[in-house]
Chains A and B, each alone.
Chain A
Amino acid sequence: MATILAFAETRDGALRPVAAEVVSAARSLADEVGAQVVALVVGGPGTADAASDLARLGADRILVAEAESLSVYQPDLAVEILAGVVGDSDPTAVLFAASAQGKDLSARAAAHLGLALASEVTDIEVADGTPVVTRPMYGGKAYGRFRFLGAPALISIRPNVFSVSESPGEGSVETLPVSEATVPRTRVVGMEAAARAALDVREAPMVVAGGRGLQDADNWGLLEDLVAALGDGATLGASRAVVDAGWRPHSEQVGQTGKVVSPNLYFAVGISGAIQHLAGMRTAGVIVAVNKDPEAPIFGVANYGVVGDLFEILPVLTEEVRVARGA
């Protein structure tokens, strides 16, 4: 039977949120071409237990490579394991998340296997039994549609774009042998967590982003209050102006030289909407702009705009959101 392979990403023995999106997208593609979904999960101790959850999202077979040495992403080992699975299962397509890990691994795998890779894909169709993908280019100023000329098609999907749906698959869990022989050329020796253990702006379904209009790093409490009112799925974002000013870390920067985000809900507060900022957020579901300048370009892409002083608007907004969410 034809196979769609889904690389389901883990960290610290747990599935990452994007893993569900990748397996769900693989399920839809598999249903369209009449294929089974094989999920590959590579990680440290505990991974096998966590991985069984993927059956719920449509995985027919779940292949688990579990070892202490895989607790952190080890690119050389991961490529080897993945290449082995591709060789055995001869998939029509291999899906990755366009995450830090997924992008690194998919590019290495493409070179290793001599296959083309389409990254940051936002849509997958099927034509003549093979995937046709759409992906943003030029900072989202154009979208390209591409056909794969060979198989398997390697695809990384943009986080937060493909929806997660339940569609139970067979879900048998099989353990893959992990060879201890490979000496990694590149060694991952540690992780430094961000100061705030926050949801990454690329993966959060709701983003509250602030710009120079906030006037000072000390005013960020206003945005943090709104994040708190929005609840678990919300996190902070920033324009480059405030990152360059040192008010916020670069990891929060949204835009062409920051991160590209596609949350369901994006608040642009005191952000003018420069073209390089729009490059990072124009695919958000709903954009809300708060700006005192009615001519600010951000209003051109916002679904909803409120003109006015953010220092007056934000506290009211936070309160109204809190009430609306019944918190």
Chain B
Amino acid sequence: MRSIVCVKRVPDSEARVRIAGDGSAIDSSGVKYVMNPYDEFALEQALQLKEAAGEGTVTAITLGSDEAKETLRSALAMGADEGVLLRSDGSMDGLVVARALADEISQREFDLVLFGKQAIDDDNMQVPAMVAQLLSLPCATVVVDMTLDSGTVTAKREVEGGHEIVEFELPGVIAAQKGLNEPRYPSLKGIMAAKRKPLEEKDVTVSEPGLELLGLAPPPARPEPQIVGEGPEVVPELVRRLREEAKVL
């Protein structure tokens, strides 16, 4: 079972996001960066598939700056066999990222390519389906459960009001949603072993973007909060304000 897992370095979900002076980027000073949480589900799935098959490889690929090597080290510490850094700076839209990843993936042999369903920085939710389309591979996004039986993947996708059951033959692509598994913590042994695992680095030239960021701004301010009061006695007043002031009832 040969799996490729695409992992991205993103600000921790707890991080306070400040926007740099000119509005062109977020201010990364003091921000803790982690592996995109959904990519942990993807990586865990790849590790479990390899363990179940009793043989195979797990390759972690990231596209980003030099610092993204940290994320690859985390992937190696969790159990990936090798890491690949596609080095390129700057902001990219989803298709630019997908093209660069697809280019690298197409040069490799694999059975399954795994992604997180969404990167929690850009919140695009685009790259997995785009890579699948570019490589003419079958694909299931937002996957909460999957089984593999003699080369056929059956995946459960989260959709409004239920789940869609999707089938395809390997090679293919899945994008992991929370619930797919419980990602493991890297063991001390894993962290030590990671230092000796291969980590390939290459500079890549990415394609021209189709979207230009005009600026980042803080979220629209919410109205000044009102504490209506304390206890069940104030509920009629709450309901009155919801009806007459907010007009939502």
Contact = CB atoms under 8 A, between A and B. Distances in A.
A275 B13 contact: yes
Given A111-B98, A115-B210, A317-B235, A138 B217 contact: no
A279 B14 CA distance: 10
Contacts of B11: 138
B129 to A, nearest CB: 4
Given A137-B121, A145-B215, A306-B238, A185 B94 contact: no
Interface in A291-315: 294, 299-309, 312-313
Given A286-B246, A320-B236, A320-B239, A116 B93 contact: yes
B137 A148 contact: no
A303 B160 contact: no
Interface in B94-151: 94-95, 98, 120-134, 136-142, 144
A144 B213 contact: yes
Contacts of A111: 95, 98, 129-134
A56 interface: no
Contact of A145 (B128, B214, B229): B214
B163 interface: yes
Given A186-B140, A300-B225, A251 B158 contact: yes
Contacts of B16: 141
Contact of B95 (A117, A142, A265, A287): A117
Interface stretch (A27-35, A59-67, A98-106, A210-218): A98-106
Interface stretch (A43-51, A162-170, A171-179, A196-204): A196-204
Interface string A106-122: 11101110111111100
Interface residues of A, number: 95
B166 A188 contact: yes
A185 B136 contact: yes
A282 B222 contact: yes
B108 to A, nearest CB: 19
B95 A115 contact: yes
Interface in A134-163: 135-150
B188 interface: no
Interface string A192-232: 11100111101100100000000000000000000000100
A241 interface: no
Contacts, number: 274
A276 B94 CA distance: 23
Contact of B235 (A72, A138, A313, A325): A313
Contacts of B156: 192
Given A100-B142, A192-B163, A305-B226, A107 B126 contact: yes
Contact of B219 (A136, A258, A317): A136
Given A187-B167, A282-B222, A110 B238 contact: no
Given A286-B242, A304-B242, A137 B216 contact: yes
A126 interface: no
A148 to B, nearest CB: 6
B223 A324 contact: no
A257 B37 contact: yes
Contacts of B142: 100, 104
Nearest to B178: A257
Name the residue among A144, A188, A191, A325 with the largest chain B CB count within 10 angstroms: A144
A146 B211 contact: yes
Given A145-B214, A324-B249, A301 B222 contact: yes
Contacts of A253: 178
Interface of A: 16, 72-73, 75, 79, 99-101, 103-104, 106-108, 110-112, 114-120, 132, 135-150, 185-194, 197-200, 202-203, 206, 230, 250-251, 253, 256-258, 264-265, 275-276, 279, 282-283, 285-288, 294, 299-309, 312-313, 316-317, 320-321, 324-325
Given A103-B129, A146-B214, 6 more contacts: A72-B164, A108-B129, A142-B219, A188-B166, A313-B231, A320-B236
Interface of B: 11, 13-14, 16-17, 19, 26, 37-38, 93-95, 98, 120-134, 136-142, 144, 154, 156-168, 172, 178-179, 208-220, 222-223, 225-232, 234-236, 238-239, 241-243, 246, 248-249
Give the 6 A-B residue pairs with the shortest CB-CB distance, closest first. A116-B210, A200-B160, A111-B133, A107-B129, A141-B17, A111-B130
26 contacts: A16-B160, A75-B129, A100-B160, A108-B129, A108-B133, A115-B210, A117-B94, A119-B94, A138-B26, A141-B17, A142-B17, A144-B213, A146-B212, A185-B136, A186-B167, A191-B164, A191-B165, A192-B164, A251-B158, A264-B248, A288-B242, A301-B222, A304-B226, A305-B226, A308-B230, A309-B231
